[in-house]
Homo-oligomer: A and B are copies of this chain.
Amino acid sequence: MSDYQAPTKDMLFVIRELASLDQINTMPGFEEATVDLVEAILEEAGQLAGEVIAPLNRIGDAKGTRVEDGRVIVAEEFISVYRQFVSDGWTSISQSTKHGGQGLPYLVGLAVEEMMQSACLAWSICTLLTQGAARAIEHHGDAELHALVLEKMVSGEWTGTMNLTEPQAGTDLAAVRSQAVPDGDGKGYRITGQKIFITWGDHDMTDNVIHLVLARLVGAPDGVKGLSLFVVPKFRIGADGSIGERNHVTPISVEHKLGIHGSPTCVLAFDDAYGYLLGEMNKGLACMFTMMNHARLSVGLEGVAISERAYQLALAYAKERVQGNKVGYDAAVTIIKHPDVRRMLMHMKSHIEAMRALTYVAAAHLDRAHHHPDAAVRTSEQARLDLLTPIVKGWCTETGQELTSIGLQVHGGMGYIEETGAAQYMRDARITTIYEGTTGIQAADLVGRKILRDRGVALQSLIVDIKAIDAELERHGDQLATIRTALGESVDDLVGASEWLFAHAGANDDVAGAISFNFLMLAGTLMGGWQLARAAVVAAECLAEGADDPSFYETKLVTARFFAEQALPLTGAYRKAVESGGDATMTLSEEQF
């Protein structure tokens, strides 16, 4: 039996009840995704993830990757499974039918993506990057570029990468030095520079790899306003789509990382490599963000997915491991019967469900922002998505660190032994608060771009929505009373913290930065609790109506209550931290550290 069982029941519940699939699946530009169809897709994807992909996880961790003779070698098992995955059409679920995709909502693609990430994160991120790169090319490329690379990327026949970072340019892309000059053919460009941390930067899984590369055209302005984005294939491509000679892109080395060993993280040397300009000259950063915002939701999802896998392993161990006595039992008991072990499992379970709900709801906003027939709705949905994206990315990945560590803890000493597998989840999860923008960057984005810049309009609208659940919670009386109380206090904490922010952010340039992490964690905790409160209302109603599978809804009520009682109180602590301001943070001289 596989050690990963896709949580399709919870996924479907979230997709149907919290992310409102039925409001999305009939929008223009989507193939209609009925609940039955989605259920069938998730069943099949879950089987694939559990039976075929999940076994890759340990293999990739043990084998790692290496560079040999100018090419990157990855685990051979990764290659065969990838090719099957592509030929079965899994990469393109939520890509547009115009370029060979299946045209289903992103919401549905996200659920499939969660399964693949749970099954093998190192392997799954190749597809994440490919589809992100494809989206950037779809949005910013012309028909010629589309014809050249897009369908092959949508299908996964070729993979894509994201080449931003250079040794001196990580978070700060203004420092990018890679250069581009026009090629003699009058159409293309020649790119030269060194890029680092390029995930799946080279491999033999596919016949070609399409690199998106940030570089500076000769004579372009300094800073981010001089950056352009180029499409640089590993192998040159003929006008007929045929694969030509090797382009001048070479993997120099792969990193020796804490986790995701199965994925090659490359240093790539571009030496007069031929490429195509994507989008407008000097607008490269904007093009890149088409890819990045999507990718940030996907990385937030990784926090959910690895935690789910870690939970399943810890749960299985807790149900099997016999250790210690308990009043009322004659013999030693399985450790799940011990209260502190249950606390750890409930903590994992409730946070995973909260994070999943929040991430899927954000995906539904993305679908509506792109496909809703009413332009005004598209705008407001986009604003909500923009607000939620850094929260999903930041909070779900930070929480993923905690949950995978708890998963290890449930195993006691066995958790520290690599063969158990719990340690790998923790090691793999550790990258998620870093790549696609660190938590600090998410927090700065949230507080600066998403809240202060629009004077709190999007936040205010969100708070109104959260408060609207109060009447529904009240209607269920004692059953949901502790949830209602805790959520109410947490909303007050967010309101208080944001009032403080608007009152103090102007005082000096450091205030917003100093409090942004605590603000983000406050917001994330509240959003998670909000989604579980919504779930609890649905569950209470289903139980009252005598719906099938009452055990599922009873469980949901308990999970929501646990989160409300044990996690939501953190918002009070975050609020106090915010309201203490940045003074203690900023006072010391550098020598005093």
- Whole-angstrom distance from the CB of A272 to the nearest CB of chain B? 27
Q: Which residue of A339, A418, A510, A591 has the most chain B CB atoms within 10 A of its CB atom?
A: A339
Which of B340, B418, B444, B592 meets A443, CB within 8 Å? B340
A460 at the interface (CB under 8 A from B): no
Mark A133-164 against chain B: 1 for CB-CB distance below 8 A, else 0. Answer: 00000000000000000000000000000000
Smallest beta-carbon distance A484→chain B, Å: 14
Which chain B residues lie closer than 8 Å to A220 at the CB level? none
Q: Are A584 and B572 in contact (CB under 8 A)?
A: no
Does A513 sit within 8 A of B, measured CB to CB? yes
- In the bound assembly, the distance between CA atoms of A435 and B419 in angstroms comes to 18
Contacts of A225-252 to chain B: CB distance below 8 A: none
Contacts of A510 in B (CB 8 A): 339
Q: Is A580 an interface residue (CB 8 A)?
A: yes
B-contacting residues, A55-109, CB 8 Å: none
A130 within 8 A of B: no
Question: Does A343 lie within 8 Å of B514, measured CB to CB?
Answer: yes
A504-516 near B? 1/0 per residue, CB < 8 Å: 0000011111101
On whether the beta carbons of B576 and A569 are closer than 8 Å, the reply is: yes
Which listed residue, B324, B341, B517, touches A343 by the CB 8 Å rule? B517
Is the pair A580, B593 in contact by a Cβ cutoff of 8 Å? Answer: no
Contacts of A555 in B (CB 8 A): 588, 592
Q: Which of B409, B558, B580 is close to A433, meaning CB atoms less than 8 Å apart?
A: B409
Contacting residues, chain B, for A574 (C-beta < 8 A):
569
Complex contacts, A341 vs chain B, CB 8 Å? 440
Contact of A582 among B339, B413, B417, B561 (CB under 8 A): B339
Contact of A165 with B by CB under 8 A? yes
Q: Does A12 contact B (CB under 8 A)?
A: no
Question: What does DSSP make chain A's interface, helix, strand, loop or mixed?
Answer: helix
- Is A554 close to B, CB under 8 A? yes
Instruction: Name the contact of A413 in the complex, choosing from B165, B349, B572, B580 (C-beta under 8 A).
Output: B165
What's the Cα separation between A590 and B321 when bound, in Å?
Answer: 14
B558 touches A255 (CB 8 A): no
Q: Which residues of B contact A584 (CB under 8 A)?
A: 346, 558, 561-562, 565-566
Q: Is the CB of A593 within 8 A of B345?
A: yes
Q: How far is the CB of A131 from chain B (nearest CB, A)?
A: 22
Does A430 sit within 8 A of B, measured CB to CB? yes
Give the docked Cα–Cα distance between A338 and B554 (Å).
47
> Quick one: which of B336, B343, B577 contacts A566, CB cutoff 8 A?
B577
Min CB gap A87→B, angstroms? 33
Assess whether A323 is in contact with B434, with CB atoms less than 8 Å apart.
no
B561 touches A418 (CB 8 A): no
Please provide the chain A residues from 396 to 438 with a CB less than 8 Å away from any CB of chain B in the complex.
401, 405, 408-409, 412-413, 415-419, 423, 426-427, 430-431, 433-435, 438
Interface hits, A544-593 → B, CB 8 Å: 551, 554-555, 558, 561-562, 565-566, 569-570, 572-577, 580, 582, 584-588, 590-593
Contact A592 B551 (CB under 8 A): yes
- Nearest chain B residue, comparing its CB with the CB of A516: B340
Which are the 8 A-B pairs with shortest beta-carbon distances? A339-B513, A565-B580, A569-B576, A340-B440, A339-B514, A562-B584, A569-B573, A258-B423
**Subset of 26 A-B contacts with CB under 8 Å:** A171-B412, A172-B324, A172-B332, A174-B325, A255-B416, A257-B417, A338-B513, A339-B513, A340-B440, A340-B443, A343-B517, A408-B430, A409-B434, A409-B438, A409-B439, A412-B438, A416-B431, A551-B591, A555-B592, A558-B588, A562-B585, A565-B576, A565-B577, A566-B584, A569-B575, A569-B576
